[in-house]
């Protein structure tokens, strides 16, 4: 295990509970940094029950159903303090929350996001899935060079203050993609979403995906 962060797998956990936990760790790390201490970097993995989250500059019009239907379908909804627009979290999706002091890695926010992207690209390659960045669109995409076919497999949305991070990435593994029909994912109306299961035509070993993504966090954040 990399000594530059502590890892914790929270399993299936409610969004608000994990958000509150992240916030405590984030504020603690900021306070430690203000006191001249490096503090403890942490990496959280989890899945969430069905929930939509929208970033601080997101457009509410990208939520395509009203609150009554949200309640009926037992989907939670939160307006949160990360960048980006609206996205979906649910069972079968691997969510990773790094609460990192970027100074401990000698990098800034741009390089941090680049490394998040790189570790997902490397992880997917191990499962035979080729993906890449898409100019002007956050996250990791398949067929990014073919607009009519481009589809997102991993969303990325982070918050950074004084080079301390929270929020992170959401990788669709065995995700029920029908929930994305209720939103314009990340504000896009002309691009699709996908999952490892859809691309490979079979359910994927979730524990193997977690182990692979963790391995590449250890490679890219040392």
Catalytic positions, please?
Answer: 186
- Report CA-CA distances (Å) from 195 to 29, 35, 96, 129, 201: 33, 43, 16, 10, 10
DSSP string over 112-131: HHHHHHHHHHHHHHHTT---
Q: Is 119 left (phi over 0), alpha (psi -120 to 50) or beta?
A: alpha
Measure the CA–CA gap between 74 and 77, rounded to whole angstroms: 10
Phi (first) and psi of residue 188, to 5 degrees: -90, 135
Joined tokens for residue 96: 């990773």
155, β-bridge pairs: 170
Kind plus residue range of the DSSP H or E element containing 161: strand 151-161
Neighbours of 187 (CB within 10 A): 18
Contacts of 187 (CB under 8 A, 6+ apart): 58, 59, 62, 85, 86
């Amino acid at each position: 295990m990399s000594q530059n962060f502590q890892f914790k797998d929270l399993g299936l956990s409610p969004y608000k509970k994990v958000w509150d936990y992240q916030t405590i760790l984030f504020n603690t790390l900021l306070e430690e940094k203000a006191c001249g201490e490096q503090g403890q970097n942490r990496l959280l993995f989890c899945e969430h029950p069905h929930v939509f989250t929208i970033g601080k500059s997101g457009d509410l019009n990208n939520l395509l159903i009203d609150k009554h239907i949200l309640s009926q379908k037992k989907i939670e909804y939160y307006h949160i303090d990360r960048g980006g627009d609206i996205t979906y979290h649910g069972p079968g999706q691997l969510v990773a929350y790094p609460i990192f002091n970027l100074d401990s890695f000698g990098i800034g926010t741009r390089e941090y996001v680049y490394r998040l992207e790189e570790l997902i690209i490397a992880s997917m390659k191990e499962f035979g899935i080729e993906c890449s960045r898409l100019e002007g669109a956050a996250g990791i995409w398949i067929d990014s060079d073919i607009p009519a076919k481009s589809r997102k497999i991993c969303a990325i949305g982070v918050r950074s203050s004084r080079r301390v991070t929270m929020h992170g990435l959401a990788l669709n593994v065995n995700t029920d993609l029908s929930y994305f029909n209720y939103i314009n994912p990340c504000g896009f109306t002309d691009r699709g979403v996908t999952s490892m299961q859809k691309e490979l035509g079979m359910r994927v070993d979730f524990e193997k995906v977690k182990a692979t993504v963790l391995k590449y966090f250890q490679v890219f954040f040392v």
